[in-house]
Structure 1
Amino acid sequence: MSFDVRDFLLGGCILENIIDELKWRGAVNQISDEESLHKLLGEKSVGVYCGTDPTGDSLHVGHLIPFMMLKRFQMAGHRAYIVIGGGTGSIGDPSGRSSERVLQTMDQVHHNEECLTAQMKRLFGDDKINIVNNYEWLSKISLLDFLRDYGKLFNINTMLAKDVVASRLDTGISFTEFTYQILQAVDFHHLLMEHDVQLQIGGADQWGNITAGIDLIHKMEGSDKQAYALTIPLMLKADGTKFGKSAGGAVWLDPEKTTPYEFYQFWLNQDDRDVVKYLKYFTFLSKEEIEDLAQKVATQPEKREAQRRLAEEVTAFVHGKKAVEQAEHISKALFSGDVKALTADEIEQGFKNMPTVEVKAEPENLVEWLVNSGIEKSKRQAREDVTNGAIYINGDRVQDLDYVVDPAQQFDGKFVIARRGKKRYFLGRVK
């Protein structure tokens, strides 16, 4: 299906403009000069950008929100740009912080740039997204040029009034972080002049930084130069807490930090009160599909069909369809207890947060193995549990006291999975 920038298809209904779709999804917080932007987006393919600073080597799901919006613009026929902030990231954005940021070394910054660039290419397609690094142009501006060409155009009183700065005045803010909004404004001006990028999108806390860019553009290029801002609402869960955290901390897009199985489970376990909102934000399902799932949440919440669809869609977008199949396979195996059907890689994912013990590679009598691995406290208790049928090795119930545990028999010789009772799993990792 091809997209016309004047008409965006949503659930069988033709919407006049992507802004209408974003509003239906609840994804619009603020827009500068909405009427003019709406008109522009209906007339031509517009350059749109979203930026991220390389403060870490991976984004997490909280960072994903504005990039999902950028993807929607791309799908609607607009030109998407991602700015990796190698320059701005070297000084630190004060947004959302109550204290001064600890500066990273430039080696750390450059390493993170490479990781985030690779991550974005996987999400958007290597040949479909324009990725630029603001270090390329910011690093070429001398101090005197910065003060004369840009600093002179910023009024201190206006800068102090920006929420991102005003919120830090009580605790203090360095001159370095104070100038961040100037650098981000320079980015917007550069992208407009070099790539015809007229719209910047970001989180709600970026409004001050983005509008600073619009002000700079108007001062340098004239008040009739078209440049616009669009921000996404702050994402909160139904209980009022911040979205994007799990019991284990942040949910990362990097599979080495958060496995695809854990990622899938994060979405699968969302509250009924939040799931429809997340379907609108994080999936590309149509209005009709989402409304059908919303109806099922209301009438058949126990089936959790909306959560399963959410988990499938977001996991496929971030990690691919194979990761979804693998996550579902792990989930079914753990639910049924048929763990012998898992691969070594699936075990690595599914048992990451389960109790882990080190075990020897050599074959060993079951009772001795249970005690030596620390799963049972005594041989008496081990014999009792084995005899009563409470012990499972690699998915099979074992009641033979003479049974020998041989790690080489399954899972590439890397693991032995023990279960005591109905749900108490232990991962034996071969030394």
Structure 2
Amino acid sequence: MQYKSDLIKTLAGRGYLYQATDIEGLDALAARQTVTGYIGFDATASSLHVGSLVQIMMLRRLQQAGHTAIVLLGGGTTKIGDPSGKDSQRPVLTPEDIAANKEGILKPFHALLDMDKAIVVDNDAWLSEYSYLEFLREFGRHFTINRMLTFDSVKSRLDREQPLTFLEFNYMLLQAVDFLELNRASGCQLQLGGADQWGNIVNGVELCRRVDGAEAYGFTTPLITTASGVKMGKTADGAVWLNPDRLGPYQYWQFWRNTEDADVGRFLRLFTDLPLDEVERLESLEGADINDAKIRLANEATAMLHGADEARKAEAAARETFEQGGASADLPSVEIPAAELQSGLGILEAFERAELVESRGEARRHIKGGALKVNDEKVEDPFATLTDEDIRDGAIKLSVGKKRHALLKIV
């Protein structure tokens, strides 16, 4: 299909398009005027992870095409919990937790968007103003239980025989009202989101049209999984966080460097600003040369979030560690007092404190598998200790497998 607007050409050409309520109408709108679009982010954690990155990148594409991006913080909806893709109810957070999380999840937006031109709002500003009876009277009549039960976010939960509380069932009404409020206040005509948000988005589009007769559109991205079927952002080592206090630039760089061969081209389109002809060149590389494309992906993605200097340091640290067998000072590190080392630091505790393992039991399993190394020497005794004799240039290098490393810096 030949699109007219730069926005839809970009979103479709780079692989963001999965479903849209009226793609031709949205394309025509974006071709003739500035479009305001939004994505909501609930404040359920102190940082977003890489699974949310495709949504942030869509707002980036919106701005790059000359349109207006709204970042909607779910201060209100976080109190309820979105049932989409969940098997259980989210824990109820305190107002203090939600406030702290809102501040945390905004951090990557300052790197990835032009925040001077973006609009940031919190849906608690209007949701908290409604009384229960007022909300039901004004909006409840526009939703039928029959229809709500057909949406995947509800149906899949019930099919798995997992409890769905009335609290969560109301979530889609709240999200629909968000779209209506943003349409009224900011002329917002577009809601974007992941494929799991399709039902919620359709409800918002229909509510805008029924209540105000407003022109409104919905657009979703496909569920981003790796070639091996793993959900984007989920690894054996846990979530790939976007905030540096949760995951350092080196580990972030390594995540992209370890991309599966079959995913390189797709991830370059989605998560970098490289021109499409350069992406095609990189994804056509074969054999060992595909590693050049992975390094380029890691550098571009890391530079976008953490800055070019951090990307260069991460690449240099990786080359020194993997190609030269060294231990770069830019590897993730933890400081250990010299006095503590002199009295003997247990191997299991050392790996746990370096956050290379989540527990000592995990460390023992890695030892059995031959994956734990100290200064590139395999660890065989789980009761061994580290001492001054293990120090190399003021630090001790710890490794799990070939790709995860950290330094114990002796102070």
* Pairwise TM-score range, normalised by the shorter structure: 0.7 to 0.9
Q: Return the alpha-carbon distance in structure 2 between the equivalents of residues 425 and 212 of structure 1.
A: 47
Instruction: Pick one of 290, 299, 315 that aligns with 1:328.
Output: 315
For 1:148-227, what aligned pairs fall within 5 Å after superposition? Answer: 148-169=137-158, 170-222=161-213, 225-227=214-216
Q: Return the alpha-carbon distance in structure 2 between the equivalents of residues 163 and 37 of structure 1.
A: 24
Deviation string for 1:175-208 (max 9, x for gaps)?
A: 1111101110111001111101100000000000
Q: Return the alpha-carbon distance in structure 1 between the equivalents of residues 254 and 75 of structure 2.
A: 33
Conservation of the 8 A alpha-carbon contact between 2:5 and 2:27: no
Deviation, 1:307, is: 0.4
Describe the shift of the 1:374–1:185 C-alpha distance in structure 2 as closer, same or farther (beyond 3 A).
closer
Q: Return the alpha-carbon distance in structure 1 between the equivalents of residues 249 and 316 of structure 2.
A: 12
Deviation, 1:50, is: 0.8
Q: Return the alpha-carbon distance in structure 1 between the equivalents of residues 147 and 406 of structure 2.
A: 59
Counterpart residue type for residue 87 of structure 1: G
Q: Return the alpha-carbon distance in structure 1 between the equivalents of residues 315 and 101 of structure 2.
A: 31
Q: Name the counterpart of 1:305.
A: 292
State the structure with more CA Rg. Answer: 1
Q: Return the alpha-carbon distance in structure 1 between the equivalents of residues 203 and 182 of structure 2.
A: 14
Counterpart residue type for residue 172 of structure 1: P
Describe the shift of the 1:27–1:126 C-alpha distance in structure 2 as closer, same or farther (beyond 3 A).
closer
Deviation string for 1:96-143 (max 9, x for gaps)?
A: 112222211222111101111233223313313211111111111111
Conservation of the 8 A alpha-carbon contact between 1:59 and 1:116: yes
Q: Name the counterpart of 1:138.
A: 127
Q: Return the alpha-carbon distance in structure 2 between the equivalents of residues 75 and 210 of structure 1.
A: 23
Q: Name the counterpart of 2:26.
A: 37
For 1:19-38, what aligned pairs fall within 5 Å after superposition? Answer: 19-38=8-27
Q: Return the alpha-carbon distance in structure 1 between the equivalents of residues 275 and 121 of structure 2.
A: 31
Instruction: Pick one of 376, 380, 395 that aligns with 1:416.
Output: 395
Describe the shift of the 1:118–1:238 C-alpha distance in structure 2 as closer, same or farther (beyond 3 A).
closer
Q: Return the alpha-carbon distance in structure 1 between the equivalents of residues 123 and 346 of structure 2.
A: 53
Describe the shift of the 1:359–1:406 C-alpha distance in structure 2 as closer, same or farther (beyond 3 A).
farther
Deviation, 1:150, is: 1.2
Describe the shift of the 1:127–1:337 C-alpha distance in structure 2 as closer, same or farther (beyond 3 A).
same
Counterpart residue type for residue 49 of structure 2: H
| Structure 1 range deviating more: 53-62 or 153-162 | 153-162
Deviation, 1:153, is: 2.0
Deviation string for 1:334-363 (max 9, x for gaps)?
A: 132444xx44xx24x1x57xxx9x56259x
Deviation, 1:171, is: 2.3
- Using the size of structure 1 for normalisation, the TM-score is 0.78
Conservation of the 8 A alpha-carbon contact between 1:60 and 1:251: yes
Deviation, 1:406, is: 11
Q: Percent identity?
A: 41
Q: Return the alpha-carbon distance in structure 1 between the equivalents of residues 147 and 408 of structure 2.
A: 61
Counterpart residue type for residue 78 of structure 2: G
Q: Return the alpha-carbon distance in structure 1 between the equivalents of residues 345 and 156 of structure 2.
A: 53
Pairwise CA RMSD of aligned residues?
Answer: 3.0
Describe the shift of the 1:244–1:425 C-alpha distance in structure 2 as closer, same or farther (beyond 3 A).
closer
Q: Name the counterpart of 1:90.
A: 79
Conservation of the 8 A alpha-carbon contact between 2:43 and 2:105: yes
Conservation of the 8 A alpha-carbon contact between 1:359 and 1:428: no
Unaligned stretches of 5+ in structure 1? 1-6, 9-14, 376-390, 394-403
Deviation, 1:147, is: 1.1
For 1:277-296, what aligned pairs fall within 5 Å after superposition? Answer: 277-296=266-285
Conservation of the 8 A alpha-carbon contact between 1:16 and 1:42: yes
| Structure 1 range deviating more: 93-102 or 54-63 | 93-102
Counterpart residue type for residue 219 of structure 1: R
Q: How many residues align?
A: 369
Q: Name the counterpart of 2:103.
A: 114
Deviation, 1:48, is: 0.8
Unaligned stretches of 5+ in structure 2? 348-373, 377-387
Counterpart residue type for residue 395 of structure 2: V
Conservation of the 8 A alpha-carbon contact between 2:193 and 2:219: yes
Conservation of the 8 A alpha-carbon contact between 2:77 and 2:124: yes
